[in-house]
């Protein structure tokens, strides 16, 4: 009998698939690392941003810069913390010079974002930014 993969294992498989398939190689080449997502895989609420910035690229985690601090403050006002939510971006690599993600880049990562959402199965999805 095959054991069902945990949500964390399923999310890790999605991340590894992005790397193995070399999605958006030009973005990957200019980035420090893939910024996949972070948080509670059983969260009722998922936040989706557009793409990692410089701080996120360096740390490998979404929303750790100024926008992340603001998000943490907003979560606090509604009685939530990072451990209560899951957060990710449409585009998983930092675009050069923090430019807006291109439509082709968003299209390339969209199936993986959908897979993340299928695994987490949140009750609410909150989009952040102009491109999410």
Confidence at residue 65, expressed as pLDDT on a 0 to 100 scale: 85
- For 38-55, the pLDDT digits (tens) are 999 999 999 999 999 999
Q: Is residue 1 scored above 60 in pLDDT?
A: no
Q: State mean pLDDT over 12-33.
A: 97
Q: What residues have CB less than 8 Å from 21, skipping those under 6 apart?
A: none
- For 59-104, the pLDDT digits (tens) are 999 999 888 999 999 999 999 999 999 999 999 999 999 899 999 9
Q: Is residue 130 scored above 90 in pLDDT?
A: no
As a whole number of angstroms, the longest Cα–Cα distance in the chain is 49
Cβ 93 vs Cβ 24: under 8 Å: yes
Collapse the DSSP code of 60 into the 3-class scheme (helix H, G, I; strand E, B; otherwise coil) and give the result: coil
Hey, where are the domains in the chain? 25-127
Written as six digits, the tokens of 17 are 């698939």
Cβ neighbours, 10 Å, residue 16:
12
Q: Determine the CATH number of domain 25-127.
A: 3.40.470.10
Confidence at residue 59, expressed as pLDDT on a 0 to 100 scale: 96
């Amino acid at each position: 009998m095959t054991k069902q993969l945990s949500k964390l294992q399923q999310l890790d498989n999605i991340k590894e698939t992005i790397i193995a398939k070399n999605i958006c190689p030009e973005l990957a080449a200019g980035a420090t690392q893939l910024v996949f997502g972070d948080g509670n895989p059983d969260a009722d609420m998922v936040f989706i941003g557009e793409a990692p910035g410089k701080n996120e690229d360096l740390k490998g985690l979404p929303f750790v810069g100024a926008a992340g601090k603001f998000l943490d403050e907003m979560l606090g006002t509604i009685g939530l913390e990072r451990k209560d939510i899951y957060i990710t971006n449409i585009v998983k690599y930092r675009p050069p010079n923090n430019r807006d993600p291109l439509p082709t880049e968003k299209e390339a990562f969209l199936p993986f974002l959908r897979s993340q959402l299928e695994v987490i199965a949140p009750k609410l999805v909150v989009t952040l930014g102009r491109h999410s």
